[in-house]
Chain A
Amino acid sequence: MPKLTIDGKAVEAAKGATLLEAAQQLGVYIPRYCYHPKLSVSGNCRMCLVEVEKTSKLVTACSTEAAEGMSVRTDSEKVKAARRDVLEFLLINHPLDCPICDQAGECGLQDYYMEYSLKKSRFPQGDKVTRQKRRALGPHLVLDNERCVLCTRCVRFCSEVTKTSELEVMERADHSFIDLKEGKSLDNDYSLNIADLCPVGAWTSRDFRFKSRVWFLKKTPTVCLGCATGCLIEAHHNENTVYRLVPRPNAETNTWLCDRGRMTYKAVQAGDRLAKGVIKNGLIDLEPALREAATRIDEQHAAAAVLGSPWLSIEDNAALARLAAEALKTENFCFDFSAEQGIKDGILVNKDPAPNTAGAGLVKAACGGLSLEEFSRRIADKRIKVVITEARAAAFIKDALKASGARLIVFAVNRAEIPPEAYATLPYASYFETPGTFVNYQGLKRRAEPAVEAKEGVKPLWAVVNKLAVYSGTSLRLDSAEDALKGINFR
């Protein structure tokens, strides 16, 4: 544990820690382009040069190990001059096309220029090295080599994280550039991380490009519901529209986010978003849809059943549990889901595609219910004639439904989710619009926080359940997601 001082402040760094990390511990920020905590140290950008007493040359903070008794300055004139010079070098061949660059507002060149340089350009526009301008590389990315600062974060990401090694710096000197095999697509499952990693506007997201200036975006911390990994994310949104999802790095689960996870927000704004109920294939307003659903449930009151869902929050599963217990007063309910848990690609994607198998398990532990096998058997035996569940969970009982022809009433966010067997569909608010608690494969409870508001008339699932109960003649008295948890004894 070496003790050293940085800008006069004493710090005890972990063994093997770099100066950059030790400074971070003190809250001293050292600018960097090539350094990334989760990638190998490359030391090429030279932005993090700092002064170490009794060392003649400046050293890179990203690669220099903190040693006992070191006296480091990150704020000396020498360091400031080095930063100005590096920025000047980086900008001479940069196109300075900020007005049409999507990175503007979160660009390492802009930010550091304002912070550390403000120097007037000495380089004639006509002398700039020109490189290939924007081109789409793969399903998610656009590369503009002219804006590139050759920090090689993208190259290292592909070789060290995805291990797909598509990218490389070609050629050398100031005409070098990032490229991959001609005709090949940069289509690994994590490609959009490159747009985040890129400190400048060289790599941008095709999905996000030109949709919004970043300074208009509001950021809501939430959780990805793309699979059981439950990555922490941030939803970026403005004026009730979500524009992108980015990872919220954390030690427990994720630094990155997979491309599929990033696209999960699309469902919220998709054209097939349900704002009304669906009976068979026809859209009808929510109230008549609820009435119709309630009628069908009442018809078969003794044979009605509720199936929870690993795609729903704990609260919404709890609401369904209470619907079964208090309104339908049936023992025909099931929160018994099991799926193989664990990272299947060695990075983030989970074997279990559902985000809350473990959370549904908590409801099962508290409320009991049938096993999924028994539940299916009862459908097949026609002891269950109406099933209320969430659209994707219906897949668990698909065969039994087919065999028995039981009526299926589902909750769905998008039309695409509705299974063909569904008789009635009730819309509900997505977890980008309403809060919910999820438990990931590690057993960590994580909150989905609403980033946007649901369309008028679209209610959280617990609220729809509450209404359904009323139509069936019972009040569950649910005024919030948390209300659903009342009366359930979670261990």
Chain B
Amino acid sequence: MILNMESILLKDNVECLEGYFAAGGYKPLKKALALKPSEVTDEVKKSNLRGRGGAGFPTGLKWSFIPKDAPGPRYLVCNADEGEPGTFKDRELLLKNPHALIEGMAIAGYAIGAAHGYIYIRGEFAAEAALLERAVADARAKGFIGRNILGSGFNFELFVHRGAGAYICGEETALLESLEGFKGQPRLKPPFPAVKGLFGSPTVINNVETLAAVPSIIEKGGDWYAAIGAGKSAGTKLFCVSGPVNKPGVYELPLGVPFRTFLENNCGGLKAGKKLKAVIPGGSSTPVLTAAEALAVNLDYESLAAAGSMLGSGAVIIIDESQCMVKLLQVLARFYHHESCGQCTPCREGCGWIEKLLNRLEDGRGTVKDLDTLYSVAEAMLGRTICPLADAMAMPVMSFVKKFRSEFEAHAAGKCCPPDAAGEH
């Protein structure tokens, strides 16, 4: 496997339109516009590109779900509501290579027959939104966005829309609700967005990283992209690593890279004196891996699934021995409790309950019975709600308790954390 291959997404000197154009940018758009829309979709299908937001759904297939003969408008929406704890890759991409996203959207818009696209960016990213607005304006000024793009007759308008502080809007139907000016509460599915999405019209929603990969796929072909990575996990992925490593940050690597290699070669290993205890491999909602499990796993969809976790958003959270797992789970529970939209009973009530149980365990009021309750509440939430937020709470709870039960039991017995856990309490 080539680890020092050329980056597809994270490149230098492409922040501005001039730099991007000089590096061959917007040529793929021209190429795409000369193809039939279905041919563009076919190329993306061939590439085996999968959604980079977390679910990993095949992108070309998603595009092909747009009903061919549906009258009325269609929409393309970019999900830039990056908020899964541990995830900061889209921000990096937006800052370093915004035109890859814009070009990717123009191509995707052409493929699905959308004349309007929206980039839904989380509200806190004010600076990023401003940069993106400027990039869109630049692209519009050059005729890459707007009416009759490059003389092709294809019209595509693109707007940047800022969120207002709600993690749940990263869920695609909650995002649509929010984009329509409502509370971000996920919709019942079916109907799926491809049939009834934004403003009731067929809609494709893709993550920033997914769309930004499209120009290269069109440029070099689906086969080229499919050959990168590991089998069904094709292409490169942005991995964002946080925690006590020497070089936290965003790395673009082919899927399938062994975690151990990634940790040592890219992240510079753990900081001096720190010992690996656990890894959350794909953002806070993915099941935690023990150090041993993590060191044996490759970073791709299939390997992580086989290890009982998920690639998720590629947010690798490194946890060292000084951290108390009960405390960390409490931090996560506080988050999910705060972010539950409140719609479905199990999530609305369960997230708060879990936080309260963890508060008890963490401040010494907890019992072994509470620990059992904790696990069973998570089980009761799993798979029973409209959207996966309840699962996102339940999965860390179940994996933390299963894999680090002794720490939880120690808390329940009134003892505090393991002796070397020196994290904040």
Which of chain A's residues have a CB closer than 8 A to the CB of B350?
89
Q: In the docked arrangement, what's the CA distance between A60 and B348, Å? A: 17
Is there an interface contact between B351 and A173, defined as CB atoms closer than 8 Å? yes
Which chain B residues have a beta carbon within 8 Å of chain A's beta carbons?
A: 166, 183, 188, 337-346, 348-353, 356, 373, 380, 383-386
Is there an interface contact between A174 and B349, defined as CB atoms closer than 8 Å? yes
**Residue A366, interface by CB 8 Å:** no
Q: Name 23 A/B residue pairs within 8 A (Cβ), A-sorted.
A: A41-B188, A43-B344, A44-B344, A44-B345, A45-B345, A46-B344, A46-B346, A46-B384, A60-B188, A63-B188, A82-B384, A85-B346, A85-B380, A89-B346, A89-B348, A89-B350, A90-B349, A92-B353, A150-B342, A173-B341, A174-B349, A176-B342, A176-B348
**Residue A171, interface by CB 8 Å:** yes
Q: In the docked arrangement, what's the CA distance between A174 and B340, Å? A: 8
> Hey, what's the 0/1 contact readout for A101-124 against B, CB within 8 Å counting as 1?
000000000000000000000110
Is there an interface contact between A174 and B380, defined as CB atoms closer than 8 Å? no
Which of chain B's residues have a CB closer than 8 A to the CB of A42?
188
Q: In the docked arrangement, what's the CA distance between A123 and B384, Å? A: 20
**Residue A257, interface by CB 8 Å:** no
Is there an interface contact between B188 and A174, defined as CB atoms closer than 8 Å? no
Which of chain A's residues have a CB closer than 8 A to the CB of B352?
93, 129, 173-174
**Residue A39, interface by CB 8 Å:** no
Q: In the docked arrangement, what's the CA distance between A46 and B383, Å? A: 11
Among candidates B188, B339, B383, residue contacting A173 with C-beta atoms closer than 8 Å: B339
Which of A42, A60, A85, A90 has the most C-beta atoms of chain B within 10 angstroms of its own C-beta? A85
Question: Contacts A171-B342, A173-B341, A174-B348 known; A58 to B383 CB distance under 8 Å?
Answer: yes
Which of chain B's residues have a CB closer than 8 A to the CB of A49?
384
Is there an interface contact between B349 and A89, defined as CB atoms closer than 8 Å? yes
Closest to A93 in B: B349
Is there an interface contact between B183 and A172, defined as CB atoms closer than 8 Å? yes
Which of chain A's residues have a CB closer than 8 A to the CB of B384?
46, 49, 57-58, 82, 85-86
Among candidates A43, A82, A92, A171, residue contacting B349 with C-beta atoms closer than 8 Å: A92
Q: In the docked arrangement, what's the CA distance between A93 and B345, Å? A: 11
Closest to A89 in B: B349
Q: In the docked arrangement, what's the CA distance between A127 and B363, Å? A: 14
Among candidates A43, A47, A85, A150, residue contacting B348 with C-beta atoms closer than 8 Å: A150
Chain A interface size, as a band, is 20 to 34
**Residue A452, interface by CB 8 Å:** no
**Residue A388, interface by CB 8 Å:** no
Which of chain A's residues have a CB closer than 8 A to the CB of B337?
173-174
Closest to B372 in A: A122
Which of chain A's residues have a CB closer than 8 A to the CB of B342?
150, 169, 171-174, 176
**Residue A293, interface by CB 8 Å:** no
Q: In the docked arrangement, what's the CA distance between A123 and B356, Å? A: 10
Which of chain A's residues have a CB closer than 8 A to the CB of B385?
46
**Residue A88, interface by CB 8 Å:** yes
Q: In the docked arrangement, what's the CA distance between A118 and B345, Å? A: 19
Is there an interface contact between B345 and A122, defined as CB atoms closer than 8 Å? no
**Residue A149, interface by CB 8 Å:** yes
Which 7 A-B pairs rank lowest in CB-CB distance, beginning with the nearest? A89-B349, A85-B380, A176-B342, A174-B352, A173-B340, A172-B342, A57-B383
Which of chain A's residues have a CB closer than 8 A to the CB of B188?
41-43, 60, 63
Which of chain B's residues have a CB closer than 8 A to the CB of A88?
380
Is there an interface contact between B348 and A123, defined as CB atoms closer than 8 Å? no
Is there an interface contact between B373 and A43, defined as CB atoms closer than 8 Å? no
Q: In the docked arrangement, what's the CA distance between A440 and B198, Å? A: 44
Is there an interface contact between A149 and B183, defined as CB atoms closer than 8 Å? no
Q: In the docked arrangement, what's the CA distance between A123 and B350, Å? A: 11
Which of chain B's residues have a CB closer than 8 A to the CB of A56?
383
Q: In the docked arrangement, what's the CA distance between A92 and B348, Å? A: 11
**Which A317-351 residues have C-beta < 8 A from chain B?**
none
Which of chain A's residues have a CB closer than 8 A to the CB of B338?
173
Which of chain B's residues have a CB closer than 8 A to the CB of A92?
349, 353
> Hey, what's the 0/1 contact readout for A135-178 against B, CB within 8 Å counting as 1?
00000000000000110000000000000000001011110100
Which of chain A's residues have a CB closer than 8 A to the CB of B166?
172
Closest to A126 in B: B356
Q: In the docked arrangement, what's the CA distance between A173 and B333, Å? A: 12
> Hey, what's the 0/1 contact readout for A175-209 against B, CB within 8 Å counting as 1?
01000000000000000000000000000000000
Closest to B382 in A: A57
Which of B348, B373, B386 has the most C-beta atoms of chain A within 10 angstroms of its own C-beta? B348
Is there an interface contact between B340 and A86, defined as CB atoms closer than 8 Å? no
Closest to B189 in A: A63
**Which A31-61 residues have C-beta < 8 A from chain B?**
41-47, 49, 56-58, 60
Which of chain A's residues have a CB closer than 8 A to the CB of B380?
85, 88-89
Which of chain A's residues have a CB closer than 8 A to the CB of B343?
44, 150
Q: How far is the CB of A54 from chain B (nearest CB, A)?
A: 15
Which of A41, A46, A58, A169 has the most C-beta atoms of chain B within 10 angstroms of its own C-beta? A46
Q: In the docked arrangement, what's the CA distance between A244 and B183, Å? A: 37
Question: Contacts A43-B188, A172-B340, A174-B351 known; A127 to B345 CB distance under 8 Å?
Answer: no
**Which A432-486 residues have C-beta < 8 A from chain B?**
none
Known A58-B383, A173-B339, A173-B341; further 11 A-B contacts with Cβ < 8 A: A43-B386, A46-B384, A49-B384, A56-B383, A86-B384, A89-B353, A93-B349, A173-B340, A173-B352, A174-B352, A176-B348
Q: How far is the CB of B166 from chain A (nearest CB, A)?
A: 8
Which of B341, B342, B345, B373 has the most C-beta atoms of chain A within 10 angstroms of its own C-beta? B345
Which of chain B's residues have a CB closer than 8 A to the CB of A46?
344-346, 384-385
Closest to A60 in B: B188
Q: In the docked arrangement, what's the CA distance between A146 and B14, Å? A: 55
Which of B166, B339, B384 has the most C-beta atoms of chain A within 10 angstroms of its own C-beta? B384
Closest to A173 in B: B340
Q: How far is the CB of A21 from chain B (nearest CB, A)?
A: 16
Closest to A65 in B: B190
Is there an interface contact between A123 and B353, defined as CB atoms closer than 8 Å? yes
Which of chain B's residues have a CB closer than 8 A to the CB of A60?
188
Q: In the docked arrangement, what's the CA distance between A43 and B173, Å? A: 14
Q: In the docked arrangement, what's the CA distance between A58 and B188, Å? A: 14
Is there an interface contact between B353 and A173, defined as CB atoms closer than 8 Å? no
**Which A251-267 residues have C-beta < 8 A from chain B?**
none
Q: How far is the CB of B266 from chain A (nearest CB, A)?
A: 36
Closest to B385 in A: A46
Q: How far is the CB of B369 from chain A (nearest CB, A)?
A: 8
Q: In the docked arrangement, what's the CA distance between A47 and B346, Å? A: 10
Which of chain A's residues have a CB closer than 8 A to the CB of B344?
43-46
Closest to B350 in A: A89
Q: How far is the CB of B259 from chain A (nearest CB, A)?
A: 28
Q: In the docked arrangement, what's the CA distance between A172 and B340, Å? A: 7
Closest to B341 in A: A172
Q: In the docked arrangement, what's the CA distance between A86 and B345, Å? A: 7
Q: In the docked arrangement, what's the CA distance between A174 and B349, Å? A: 6
Q: In the docked arrangement, what's the CA distance between A57 and B385, Å? A: 10
Q: How far is the CB of A69 from chain B (nearest CB, A)?
A: 17
Which of chain B's residues have a CB closer than 8 A to the CB of A149?
345
Closest to A129 in B: B352
Which of chain B's residues have a CB closer than 8 A to the CB of A86?
345-346, 384
